[in-house]
């Protein structure tokens, strides 16, 4: 604290931290699935970060630091109180689920092109939103915010192995959900096994 | 490398997380195996697809204005720096703790790099520390917390030093239990002190240096400074970035 005046802290905060409000907001929306909650969450995160900013080390990863603060607040205060056990039949979903399914489709000549061209932004967003919370957070941090496995482990306080397996499962669930959607809407006819 | 092995590395590569050696091995396999190549291409496209379609546009001008307004209130109330830091952040900020630790201890334990990296994983996990503001160490003295969790008894009578402790956790490194105290030295510089009562752990005796008339094991490089010493029945190792000089670390340890 000694060599940082309060003005300097404020200047640095506006320069280094405020630029991350948009990414925080994007992720907050995915976490809370609610616009007003997500604004509250981001505001709380930024105010808390500011109060502690004298302890934040210059030149280090400010974005990851802010995401860690936000994830902590979310888990402590926002996450749905009744944490129902998430029983999911992962084993039904093969590792190369979507790739394998599409390879078997015979009803159209290029099922991959068909699949990717008929699914729109909102469908993908809905599929992400439909992921169970634990998987959703990891998928959003990795896919949409581009954090590394190690950064996600730091942000979420998970082991790196857990991050990887959640990401892996999240990816599979996302594929399954988009596949089901494509079948349901008749973009693709389910291959007969 | 066979298809199964290539598949195991697939997502690491898609996510840009694989090392050079792995990447080269997989690349070699992909060149030979049309099936894996097709699968790899598909997963890459799938990820790009989700990233493109899933991204949200946010309009946050009002929110930013609100936040700046609240910052003024905090400034007016003089609240910056007034609260205890709510969790350990050195893991985030000491750029890739893993490489630091590998650099530090790897040389001493003489184990293979990769083996060490997995062994060291618990070092980065299991932060039993502070969760929420104002409830640090379940509202208790950090050293009392350390004693409860590990049986290690350290004393520190300087409240300023105690106040600078941001986290206490129990870390197992190479199968040996360490109490891990993280503190922030003046100027926001993090310092980690590992303490163990295990007789199995000997301070490696490689480079010695005399600081303030005492003999210490010292390792200095462009990534870190490390000091090892024996204090009573405890072995202590402290780790910091190079900006904290060995003499300063010794002075900090001296408080305990
Ligand atoms: Zn293959």
CA of B53 to the centre of ligand 1 (A): 29
For the CA atoms of chain B, what is the radius of gyration? 23
- Same domain membership, residue B152 and residue B50: no
CA B146-B150-B152 angle, to 5 degrees, is 70
Residue B157 within a domain: yes
Residue B108 within a domain: no
Report ipTM (2 d.p.): 0.88
CA B197 vs. chain centroid, Å, equals 22
B47, A3: Cβ pair inside 8 Å? Answer: no
Where does a domain end: B38, B54, B70?
Answer: B54
Residue B72 within a domain: no
How many structural domains are present in chain B?
A: 2
In order along its 256 residues, chain B shows pLDDT tens digits of 888 888 888 889 899 898 777 888 888 898 888 888 889 989 999 999 999 888 887 878 999 999 999 999 888 877 665 444 444 443 333 323 333 343 344 333 322 222 222 222 222 222 222 222 223 343 456 788 788 778 888 888 777 787 777 777 776 665 667 787 877 777 667 788 888 886 666 555 556 777 777 777 777 766 667 777 777 788 887 877 777 888 888 888 888 8
B81 touches chain A (CB under 8 A): yes
pLDDT tier, A90 (very low <50, low <70, confident <90, very high otherwise) = low
B255 phi, psi to nearest 5 deg: -75, -20
Q: What single-letter DSSP state applies at residue A57?
A: P
Where does a domain end: B32, B54, B76?
Answer: B54
CA B6 to each of CA A4, A99, A104, B25: distance values in angstroms, whole numbers, following the listed order: 51, 15, 22, 8
Residue B107 within a domain: no
Residue B114 within a domain: no
> Position of tokens 């603060």?
A69
Domain range list for chain A: 6-81, 90-184
B43, A48: Cβ pair inside 8 Å? Answer: no
Contacts of B208 (CB under 8 A, 6+ apart): B215, B216, B217, B218
B79 touches chain A (CB under 8 A): yes
pLDDT of residue A9: 86
Structural domain containing residue B158:
130-255
Report residue A124 as tokens.
């993908």
CA B197-B199-B203 angle, to 5 degrees, is 90
- pTM for this structure? 0.60
- Same domain membership, residue B47 and residue B155: no
B68 touches chain A (CB under 8 A): yes
Residue B78 within a domain: no
B186 touches chain A (CB under 8 A): yes
Q: By the 8 A CB rule, do B188 and A56 touch?
A: yes
Burial class (CB in 10 A: 0-12, 13-18, 19+), B47: middle
Report residue A19 as tokens.
């630029």
CA dihedral A64, A70, A71, A74 (to 10 degrees): -170
Looking at CA atoms only, how far is residue B155 from chain A in angstroms? Answer: 24
B184 touches chain A (CB under 8 A): yes
Residue of A nearest to B99 (CA): A150
Looking at CA atoms only, how far is residue B167 from chain A in angstroms? Answer: 13
Residue B87 within a domain: no
Q: What is the DSSP string of A108-142?
A: SS-HHHHHHHH--HHHHHHHHHTS-HHHHHHHIII
A119, B53: Cβ pair inside 8 Å? Answer: yes
pLDDT of residue B76: 84
CA distance A110 to B87: 51
CA A188 to each of CA A108, A133, A191, B39: distance values in angstroms, whole numbers, following the listed order: 8, 29, 9, 19
pLDDT of residue A85: 45
Fold classification of A6-81 (topology level): Rna Polymerase Sigma Factor; Chain: A (1.10.1740)
- Same domain membership, residue B151 and residue B249: yes
Q: What single-letter DSSP state applies at residue B101?
A: H
CATH class as words, domain A90-184: mainly alpha
A36 touches chain B (CB under 8 A): no
CA of B19 to the centre of ligand 1 (A): 19
Residue B147 within a domain: yes
């Amino acid at each position: 604290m000694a060599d940082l005046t309060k003005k300097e802290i404020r200047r640095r905060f506006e320069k280094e931290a405020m630029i991350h409000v948009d990414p925080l907001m994007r992720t907050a929306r995915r976490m809370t699935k609610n616009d007003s909650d997500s604004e509250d969450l981001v505001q709380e995160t930024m105010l808390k970060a500011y109060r502690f900013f004298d302890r934040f080390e210059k030149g280090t990863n400010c974005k990851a630091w802010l995401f860690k603060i936000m994830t902590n607040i979310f888990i402590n205060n926002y996450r749905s109180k009744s944490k129902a056990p998430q029983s999911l039949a992962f084993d039904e979903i093969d590792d190369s689920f979507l790739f394998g399914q599409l390879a078997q489709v015979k009803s159209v000549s290029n099922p991959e092109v068909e699949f990717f061209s008929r699914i729109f932004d909102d469908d993908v967003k809905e599929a992400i939103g439909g992921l169970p919370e634990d998987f959703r957070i990891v998928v959003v941090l990795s896919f949409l915010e581009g954090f590394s496995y190690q950064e996600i482990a730091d942000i979420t306080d998970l082991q790196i192995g857990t991050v990887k397996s959640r990401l892996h499962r999240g990816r599979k669930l996302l594929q399954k959900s988009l596949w089901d959607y494509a079948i349901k809407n008749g973009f693709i006819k389910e291959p007969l096994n | 490398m066979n298809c199964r092995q290539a598949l195991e590395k697939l997502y690491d590569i898609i996510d840009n997380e694989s090392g050079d050696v792995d990447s080269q091995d997989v690349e070699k396999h992909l060149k030979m195996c049309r099936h894996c190549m097709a699968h790899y291409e598909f997963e890459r496209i799938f990820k790009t697809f989700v990233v493109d379609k899933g991204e949200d546009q946010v309009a946050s001008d009002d929110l930013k204005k609100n936040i700046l307004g609240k910052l003024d209130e905090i400034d007016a109330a003089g609240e910056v720096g007034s609260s205890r830091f709510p969790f350990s952040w050195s893991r985030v900020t000491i750029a890739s703790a893993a490489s630091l630790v590998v650099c530090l201890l790897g040389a001493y334990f003489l184990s293979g790099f990769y083996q060490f990296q997995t062994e060291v994983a618990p070092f980065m996990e299991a932060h039993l520390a502070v969760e929420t503001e104002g409830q640090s160490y379940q509202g208790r003295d950090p050293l009392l917390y350390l004693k409860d969790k590990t049986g290690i008894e350290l004393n520190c009578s300087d409240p300023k030093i105690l106040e600078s402790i941001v986290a206490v956790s129990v870390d197992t490194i190479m199968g040996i239990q360490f109490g891990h105290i993280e503190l922030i030295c003046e100027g926001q510089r993090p310092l980690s002190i590992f303490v163990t009562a295990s007789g199995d752990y000997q301070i490696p005796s490689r480079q010695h240096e005399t600081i303030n008339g005492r003999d210490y094991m010292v390792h200095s490089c462009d990534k870190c400074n490390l000091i090892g010493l024996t204090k009573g029945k405890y072995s202590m190792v402290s780790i910091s970035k190079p900006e904290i000089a060995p003499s300063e670390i010794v002075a900090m340890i001296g408080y305990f």
